[in-house]
Amino acid sequence: MRNFRLSIVLATGLITQTGIAQDAQHDYPIQPVPFTKVHFHDAFWAPKIEVNAKVSIPYTLQKCRETGRIDNFLKAAGKMPVGKITEYPFDDTDVYKLIEGASYSLQTKPDPELEKTLDTLISIIADAQEPDGYLYTFRTMKPDTLHPWISPKRWEKTPDLSHELYNCGHLYEAAVAHYLATGKRNFLDIALKNADLLLRDFGPGKAAYFPGHQVVEMGLARLYRVTGKKEYLDLAKFFLDIRGNGNIKGSEYSQSHKMVTDQHEAVGHAVRAAYMYTGMADVAALTGNKEYINAIQDIWKDVMEHKLYLTGGIGATGHGEAFGAAYQLPNMSAYAETCASIANVYWNSRMFLMNGDAQYVDVLERILYNGLLSGVSLSGDRFFYPNPLASMGQHQRSAWFGCACCISNMTRFMPSVPGYVYAKKENDLYVNLYVASTSDIELPAGKLQLEQVTEYPWKGQVGMLIKEAPSKSFTIRLRIPGWARQEAVPGSLYAFLDTQRKPIRILLNGKAVEYKMEKGYAVINRSWKKGDKLELELPLEIEKVIANQQVKDNINRFALQRGPIVYCIEGPDNKDNAVNNIVVDRSAGIQANYEPELLNGVMVLTAKGSSTKRQVNTTALLRSEQTVKAIPYYSWNNRGAGEMQVWIPYAESAALPMPAPTIASKSKVSSSQKNPRMLKGMNDQYEPSSSQDRNSIYLHWWPKENTTEWVQYDFDQPQTVHSSKFYWFDDGPFGGCRIPAGYQLLYEKDGNWLPVEVEQQDAITKDAYNSIRFKPVKTKGLRLEVKLPEKHSAGMHEWIVN
């Protein structure tokens, strides 16, 4: 088996960071140095990769067992009664991604027990595969009722819902990873049998269905690289070209509304989109297709100029887990799915490999250190699906999700991070990321051993020691990050307040060295020798970031960034565990200090600021001075749920003052909706901009419909009350909540709930407060009974009591 693997590698050329053999004739002009050749020993990434190996991978395996994902394969093989099955027809991919991540981990750290476990899983998967290669447990197990997303016949379902081909793509990705990690063909043969079925069923003159959720295109390209079988590459291109040009009506949601070569803006489901752009890049590299390249370059520019979060996240809205309109970048309701960040890394990596421009690595680095890393807790067993940029305490990392794609995706991604450090093109070595590490690199000029010595990202000094050098000259290209050149991101979406460039020092053996700048790289060509030491000193300044004025959610706010790290302010570090009421002047001085005992060791930022609080019966605010402390965004929510802000107000109008001590704010809130985080929204005195406003905490009873629900205030002491105001939550036309069909207000008397005597009552409307005035009553509490619409749910933003 290993001889077969070796012959493939020798015949097809270099190996990428994910261990894929490359076609010698057509491929990316730049090739990554495999992650197996780069060995981290730093204090930042190495511990996180170790946690992934020791905690996240075993944890995910256990959860796949507990939740029935592995049982799905046993049921499909007829080895278990069907009974209750898991929730989503793409649950198979969690097992595939787990095997992929474990395989990567095995390549850097052999583990016989883990390898044995993978063999057992692969045997179970093999038994579930149908004789012709079909592998989709939700159909093969023949449940009493097919999942609503599945058609009675293979492939024939609205593509946006069917995940048959999506499952195939992750199967191929995992099978290649396992094969190259172990030399065993047991999983690869399953994937090839399945891929050959796709060749039989799909293509010109055959089935004309495009993948609703893209990833099979990337997987087929990987199979092509390993086998050299051109039909796999042709099918990947077919799946791309049929979008917007097939027999099934497409949609922006799945990027099937137009032919891929006619798409020039990022739209729809962000994960699907970024996987598709990555697949287009792969196929373009392997075929030389220029139209694909032109399209994804335009789309990339659209994202950079209009749709990228400062953390590198993409996908502004939970409606379709999708990109929003230009400059639509809400903070508290930001979706920025972890899977989308991983897909965005893949996409930007491919864009770099295509043309060697550092701007793509600038974005990749931003994602890695911020919007991607925030997706997993420091402990490795708690996770974010969306990654908001603000919170009022309603967000909390979860131990698991019914849709667990982000969890399994993190386990497969983390071991491959070292593969993004170096890349090469002939005798040019690109140094893209700065991490304390050793590496063994093969260049045409000869063998190179390189050691990086650095405390990046906390310090900007990087030493590169040549431990073994080729006899011939070669070129080192050092990426000078955009942030070190006072460029926040490529494009005009974000900018640093301080635009003055700081000096960047590059020394060779202690002396200044001449270099030229090309596409963001400092280029040094010479005959290197063993013992040469190259030193790079990057200006790790604290930067205040402002957003384009068209990003309405960030007006009168700035964010803090130091090097590649984006910061946030979080409750546990600040007065009263509150941050949404904080204001920091634009000109305030900021200090940096490393705290080794905080959050596994982080650089914190501090500044002088103030906080505000509302008062009863006046619009005047109470102000108090305080020290404001910021932590790296990736490390937030590791100490429980609480308030958080990335974009810090510098004007009081942008802050949310702490509530005044009103009857409502001092009440205990309870409801038929048992989620305690939702209940905080009832009396937080946040003024919604509309019934659809998601930038705060709100209460909803979804998915309940046509029922009577309730929410209740228990006062701190008996109060005489005479009126109330309600602001309803309504996320129509796409969401599940509408204004109520009706409501009734009750007051507590002698342990009973009695209806108030209504004197005046507004009609139930959205986008405004609805008032009710009633005969005054002295009571210890009020209860609001809400009649949900017949075919929708309902919810509330705020409940005021007078």
Task: List, by residue number, the catalytic residues.
Answer: 321, 405
- 112 preceded by cis ω (within 30°)? no
b/e sequence 249-270, b meaning 16+ C-beta within 10 Å? ebbbbbbbbbbbbebebbbbbb
H helix runs in 28-89, sequence order? 45-51, 57-66, 69-76
The token pair that represents 151 in the structure block? 């058609």
* Residue 749 host element (H or E): strand 742-749
The token pair that represents 55 in the structure block? 């905690």
Rounded to the nearest angstrom, the gap between the alpha carbon of residue 93 and the centroid of all alpha carbons in its chain is 17
Rounded Cα distance, 324 and 439, in Å: 41
In terms of Cα–Cα distance, which of 568, 440, 427, 413 is closest to 57? 413
Say how many C-beta atoms besides its own lie within 10 A of residue 496's C-beta: 17
**Secondary structure (DSSP) of 456-480:** TTT--EEEEEEEE--SS-EEEEEE-
What are the C-alpha distances in Å from 408 to residues 93, 178, 267, 493, 580? 8, 16, 25, 32, 33
b/e sequence 48-81, b meaning 16+ C-beta within 10 Å? bbebbbebbbbbbbebbeebbbbbbbbbbbeeee
Strands 602-615, 582-583: pairing is: antiparallel
The set of residues, in sequence order, having a beta carbon less than 8 Å from that of 737 and lying 6+ positions away, is: 700, 702, 729, 730, 731, 792, 793, 794, 795
Helix (H, G, I), strand (E, B) or coil at 67: coil
The set of residues, in sequence order, having a beta carbon less than 8 Å from that of 6 and lying 6+ positions away, is: none
The set of residues, in sequence order, having a beta carbon less than 8 Å from that of 265 and lying 6+ positions away, is: 298, 299, 302
